């Protein structure tokens, strides 16, 4: 357990709150390890039907610990700054830590990023890895990497390309301009942008709605959509046929079919 990540659970929603408000929730090794473990655990827990990722103190996540990079104390010593892990060890360590975005993207249940303020660098990448995003309309979002001479990590280049296309993703990465939550919504980077007064209630309502969906079907739906990003039509048709038949065998489908006949709203149990 660590104070750098707060975990709560209510009404089927697991909320993971990055908790270093004094540093705008910049990632540390401790926070990253806790976040990876928590996302994996929630992804595999049948009681969890939606995962929310957010940040404390009016920020989402400022990305990596740039002060640590400068001092050579974050992710190993920098070149020319004394002994430390080898380049190969540093690459392996970073790649291992980046698995968290794969879990967010592939978890068999919906994942939602609630962005109450700045999201930069790897912090923005974490938000992009989630299925859906709600942002404060004035929140500041930026890839940031080019401004500190870095190439980027945590899958942001892949996720952003999927969302806005190759040319726009290159512009956003190369220039590292700051865009607001409202501008991000217009670009399709976030699903909703709302005012500070609306954000808490909208986020809770949205998360509860996600948790009330047919969880098994949503998991298969995510697999279809993820594969569709790179597969052929025939491959997607094969996958859809398999997953459609599997979801026809769920209790949620049987319950929903009965509700349809009875002309009432379905209630899903996630089974």
| DSSP annotation of 258 | H
Give the count of beta carbons closer than 10 Å to the beta carbon of residue 269: 13
| pLDDT given at position 79 | 40
The string of pLDDT tens digits covering residues 39-95 is 999 999 999 999 999 999 999 999 987 665 555 545 444 444 456 789 999 999 999
**Composition of the chain by helix, strand, coil, percent to 5:** 50, 15, 35
Q: What is the mean pLDDT of residues 176-196?
A: 97
Structure-token pair, residue 199: 């954000």
Instruction: Indicate whether this model's pTM tops 0.75.
Output: yes
Q: What is the mean pLDDT of residues 140-159?
A: 96
Taking a C-beta distance cutoff of 8 angstroms, is the pair 8, 47 a contact? no
What is d(CA 209, CA 207) in angstroms, rounded to the nearest whole number? 5
Q: What is the mean pLDDT of residues 209-237?
A: 95
For residue 56, give every residue at least 6 positions away whose Cβ sits within 8 Å of its Cβ, in sequence order, or none. Answer: 6, 17, 18, 19, 20, 21, 25
Q: What is the mean pLDDT of the chain?
A: 92
């Amino acid at each position: 357990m660590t104070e750098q990540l707060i975990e709560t659970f209510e009404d089927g929603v697991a909320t993971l709150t990055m908790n270093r408000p004094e540093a705008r929730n910049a990632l540390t090794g401790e926070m990253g390890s806790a976040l990876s473990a928590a996302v994996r655990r929630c992804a595999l827990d049948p009681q969890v039907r939606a995962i929310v990722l957010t940040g404390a103190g009016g920020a989402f996540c400022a990305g990596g610990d740039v002060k640590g990079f400068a001092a050579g104390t974050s992710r190993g010593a920098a070149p020319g700054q004394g002994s430390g892990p080898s380049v190969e060890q540093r690459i392996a360590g970073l790649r291992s830590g980046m698995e968290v975005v794969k879990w967010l993207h592939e978890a068999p249940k919906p994942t939602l990023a609630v962005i109450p303020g700045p999201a930069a660098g790897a912090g923005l990448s974490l938000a992009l890895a989630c299925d859906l995003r709600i942002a404060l309309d004035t929140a500041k979002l930026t890839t940031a990497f080019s401004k500190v001479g870095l190439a980027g990590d945590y899958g942001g280049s892949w996720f952003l390309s999927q969302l806005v296309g190759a040319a726009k993703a290159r512009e956003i990465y190369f220039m590292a301009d700051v865009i607001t939550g409202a501008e991000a919504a217009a670009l399709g980077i976030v699903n909703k942008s709302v005012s500070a007064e609306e954000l808490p209630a909208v986020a809770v309502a949205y998360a509860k709605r996600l948790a009330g969906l047919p969880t098994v079907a949503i998991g298969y739906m995510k697999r279809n959509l993820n594969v569709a990003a790179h597969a052929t039509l025939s491959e997607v048709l094969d996958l859809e046929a398999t997953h459609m038949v599997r979801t026809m065998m769920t209790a949620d489908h049987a319950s929903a079919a009965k509700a349809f006949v009875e002309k009432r709203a379905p209630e899903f149990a996630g089974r």
